[in-house]
Structure 1
Amino acid sequence: MTLKSSSMHLIALENEPSSTLGGQELNLLEICQSLANRGHQVSLVYTKEGDLLQTYGQFCQDLIPVKRYQANRKNPFDMVKFAVDFFNDISPIKTTLDSMILSNEFSSVFWGYGLSTIKKIPLLSYLQLPGNSLRFKWRPGLSGVDKFIAVSQATKDRWVDFCGIDHQKIDVVYNGIDPPKFSPHSVDNHQQLSLRRDFKILGNRRVFSCLGRLNPNKGIEVLIKAFALLANHQPDICLLIAGNVILEPKKDSPEARINYLKFLKDMVDELGIKELVQFMGHVPNTPDLDRVSDVTIVPSIWPDPCPRVVLESLSTGTPVVGSRVAGIPEMMTGELSRYLVEPGSPEQLAEVLNQVANWRDDDPELDQRCRDHVLDNFSPKVMIDQMEMVLLRTINQYYQH
């Protein structure tokens, strides 16, 4: 059968559509919403309710809760129960010739492969996490994927190198950022003062911020040590650490989250910078945090694929100091590459932060160049154009075989 489709029905597989978890969930939401605005149909399949579900409900054809995407493969009884749950869960999912499945995380790929096989529709996997050897346990699902979409070249390379995925099956589509939402710093001094009060920033302190999941892989401990070094050279500074503690699945628990946050606060106290550091938890209005910041720090020590916070901060005109790992150098090209540091080095991070701390006096046009970099290279329209092209090409190729 040959199908030349210019429209699609996207069935998106999400775990928990929540803004508190990080960029993965927000990326999928923006992709689905943009495709719906272009006239395509979207259905969301999810396992847990989250705060983004209401937004999905405004444009989705169907919102379909399912029990789970995974089974305990070492437990035969659980495997049987999983199979029963699977067939019950997929019964309300309606498909047509222009339907396709997009898995937002590798853990839902096996479930998606089953749906793809039964419904005879293509399966795509959105690679927003780095590939590693542990992904081999998902081989039965990964082998059934018709097309992979990676958020950076570094992410693609890791999935090829560590998981053996054919490089021709992976297309790269970079994230895009909505310019009006992440607009530059306001020239209204009254508004700036109001924002500083909202974030409890004292006096004229220069603001360094870090936004994202609090996790050892994100380099938070390196950041705290670097900021303590910076405080020896820069007066009137503060550090805002925004985000919830979310640990790796095997280590995560409510108790483990409390213990890790206590560990970080104890480190701050022991380094003598308690009065300079705020742990803010989840911040719903991230553009305002970007606008009130003088420098955003992304100190990742893991192969961070394409962190949204880099583009969001640059779009507001706030320079970023980030680790030279995975997709971050692909986002910070040209003159911005001078703000890249080796991961895991508090000394080098403190040195670069010291160099950029006074940019408002030393290089007052840096904010506009940061924003122009995003506008020129990471347009949301380009992102959705490329995503739409990959999806439509995949569904057309699927029916040619």
Structure 2
Amino acid sequence: MRICLISNLYPPNVLGGAEVSVKKVSEELAKRGHEVIVITTPFGENNVETINGVKIYQVKPLNLYEIYHHPNQSMFIKPLWHIIDLWNPFNEKNIRKILKSENPDIVHVHNFKGLSLSSFAPAKSLGIPLVFTAHDYSLICMRANLLNSSGEICKNPSSLCKIYNQIQKYLVKNKVDLLISPSEFVINKLKSEGLFKDVKSKKIPLGIDFKSKEKIEKDYSLINILYVGNLGEHKGVHFLLKAFKNINNRNIRLDIVGKGLYREKLELMSENDNRIKFYDFLEGEELIKMYRNANLTVVPSIWYDNSPMVIYESFSCRTPVIGSRIGGIPELIEDGFNGFLFEAGNVNELQQLLENLIDSPEILKKLEQGTYETVQKYTIDKHIKRLEKEYQKLVK
């Protein structure tokens, strides 16, 4: 098949797990003999180049700035950027031109902010089946995370947000043939807001490149706790720091890996505690080494997290996960089998869980076996086969 994936970002431009997943899926599809095209925003000097068998078009959007620079922009500029990004005819023209030239059998849209909702239109008008993977809540929230300005779950959107979301619903209506998401929670949330009610949906968990069957030997003399991900307030790292600092034990360590606007505040919170260490964004073998050395990974999100790749990665290194009982996280973590769940934002509950596991290496060893059994369900091979099956249905 000739498959075109549309993603607002593509490595090395990374703001979250979605673009990393898109790269891995693109390259795996290419390895299986498919002709794969990716349309994304600029990350290099060439407008078109082939990397690891994937032909990549870099389309420069006509807007105030590119999506990769969005987190660092002023709160006064962002609303105007979002309005322009609702429907960008310049991007639509470029994408239509590429699709006409490449003539793919299927178009698969991932995160679209920065390429605008106009990126959905060309496939429909050219009669090409369109798949959309929802990695977040961009279609029902300008912030994409369903949090208000106070960092809490938004239960009463402003009038401006309601109007913006209604426009988005109108622009995406009748454009999508198949809705995919790694979690049932996200699918249900979008449909409860009136989106994709008559569109077929399919939960397809993310895929991890898991090959090793060797038993990873852990050290329990120093319990190593790990956080990996964006350092934004919605990720709840400040709750993890509070819980950790309340634990009076010198034989524990907390490694925080990632970047984000909240990092400076988090570093201030951790002052005078030499058990805590911050790392910049890591990937590849460096990141795998962090997971392998860890005894526990913590995912303390306070937003409706979809299906964090961090959990899959941690499981692949036989490292149990403590995660918030929110969004799609409970679909991956089974209490007492491969980790534990706690109420999002509940510092006391998180602290108690950490203390119990720090004092109980035998429980950690049991959880490690659970992670190994769990990750067998989420291999990249199974993910690709599920995708191919859905593509073939649409193409036929």
- Shared fold by TM > 0.5? yes
Residue 67 (1) aligns with residue 84 (2)? no
Partner secondary structure for residue 264 of structure 2: helix
Residue 162 (1) aligns with residue 193 (2)? yes
Determine the C-alpha separation between the residues in 2 that align with 1:374 and 1:50: 34
Residue 160 of structure 1 contacts residue 167 of structure 1 at CA under 8 Å; is this kept in 2?
no
Q: 1:243 aligns with which of 250, 258, 261?
A: 258
Partner secondary structure for residue 31 of structure 1: helix
Q: How many angstroms does 1:365 deviate by? A: 4.3
Determine the C-alpha separation between the residues in 2 that align with 1:358 and 1:96: 58
Determine the C-alpha separation between the residues in 2 that align with 1:82 and 1:98: 22
Residue 183 of structure 1 contacts residue 315 of structure 1 at CA under 8 Å; is this kept in 2?
no
Determine the C-alpha separation between the residues in 2 that align with 1:287 and 1:16: 23
Partner secondary structure for residue 210 of structure 2: coil
Q: 1:267 aligns with which of 251, 259, 269?
A: 269
- Residues 333-377 of structure 1: CA deviation (Å, up to 9, x unaligned): 2633761000001110111111112443455343233211211x2
- Residues 222-249 of structure 1: CA deviation (Å, up to 9, x unaligned): 111111122x2x331111000111xxxx
1:146/1:265 CA distance change after superposition, 3 Å? same
Q: How many angstroms does 1:84 deviate by? A: 4.4
1:305 — aligned with what?
A: 306
2:128 — aligned with what?
A: 121
Determine the C-alpha separation between the residues in 2 that align with 1:236 and 1:383: 39
Q: How many angstroms does 1:92 deviate by? A: 4.0
Determine the C-alpha separation between the residues in 1 that align with 2:223 and 2:100: 54
Determine the C-alpha separation between the residues in 1 that align with 2:35 and 2:380: 19
Q: After superposition, where does 1:168-187 map in structure 2 within 5 Å? A: 168-180=199-211, 185=216
- Which stretches in structure 2 are left out of the alignment for 5+ residues? 65-77, 142-164
Residue 335 of structure 2 contacts residue 341 of structure 2 at CA under 8 Å; is this kept in 1?
no
Residue 99 (1) aligns with residue 130 (2)? no
Partner secondary structure for residue 239 of structure 1: strand
1:283 — aligned with what?
A: 282
Compare CA radii of gyration and give the structure with the larger one. 1
2:140 — aligned with what?
A: 133
1:307/1:182 CA distance change after superposition, 3 Å? farther
Q: After superposition, where does 1:218-257 map in structure 2 within 5 Å? A: 218-230=235-247, 232=248, 234-245=249-260, 257=261
- Residues 261-282 of structure 1: CA deviation (Å, up to 9, x unaligned): 221111122xx5x211111111
Q: How many angstroms does 1:18 deviate by? A: 2.3
Q: 1:47 aligns with which of 33, 36, 41?
A: 41
Higher helix share: 1
Partner secondary structure for residue 265 of structure 1: helix
Determine the C-alpha separation between the residues in 1 that align with 2:15 and 2:32: 27
Aligned AA for 1:350? Q
1:16 — aligned with what?
A: 9
Aligned AA for 1:242? V
2:184 — aligned with what?
A: 153
Residue 185 of structure 1 contacts residue 292 of structure 1 at CA under 8 Å; is this kept in 2?
no
Partner secondary structure for residue 5 of structure 2: strand
Moved more, 216-225 or 123-132: 123-132
1:373 — aligned with what?
A: 374
Q: How many angstroms does 1:293 deviate by? A: 0.6
Aligned AA for 1:206? I
Partner secondary structure for residue 309 of structure 1: helix
- Residues 33-52 of structure 1: CA deviation (Å, up to 9, x unaligned): 2222222111011112179x
Partner secondary structure for residue 270 of structure 2: helix
- Residues 6-36 of structure 1: CA deviation (Å, up to 9, x unaligned): xx21111122212642211121122222222
- Residues 149-206 of structure 1: CA deviation (Å, up to 9, x unaligned): 111111111111124321652211011212227965258xxxx8xxxxxxxxxx9532
1:208/1:182 CA distance change after superposition, 3 Å? farther
Aligned AA for 2:314? S
Determine the C-alpha separation between the residues in 2 that align with 1:239 and 1:133: 35
Residue 106 of structure 1 contacts residue 127 of structure 1 at CA under 8 Å; is this kept in 2?
no
Residue 320 of structure 2 contacts residue 364 of structure 2 at CA under 8 Å; is this kept in 1?
no
2:72 — aligned with what?
A: none
TM-score (norm 2): 0.79
- Which stretches in structure 1 are left out of the alignment for 5+ residues? 1-7, 193-202, 246-256, 397-401
1:196 — aligned with what?
A: none
Determine the C-alpha separation between the residues in 1 that align with 2:57 and 2:266: 39
Cα-Cα RMSD: 3.3
Determine the C-alpha separation between the residues in 2 that align with 1:238 and 1:333: 24
Total equivalences in the alignment: 352
Aligned-pair identity in percent equals 23
1:167/1:280 CA distance change after superposition, 3 Å? farther
Determine the C-alpha separation between the residues in 2 that align with 1:97 and 1:378: 31
Moved more, 42-51 or 289-298: 42-51
Determine the C-alpha separation between the residues in 1 that align with 2:338 and 2:296: 15
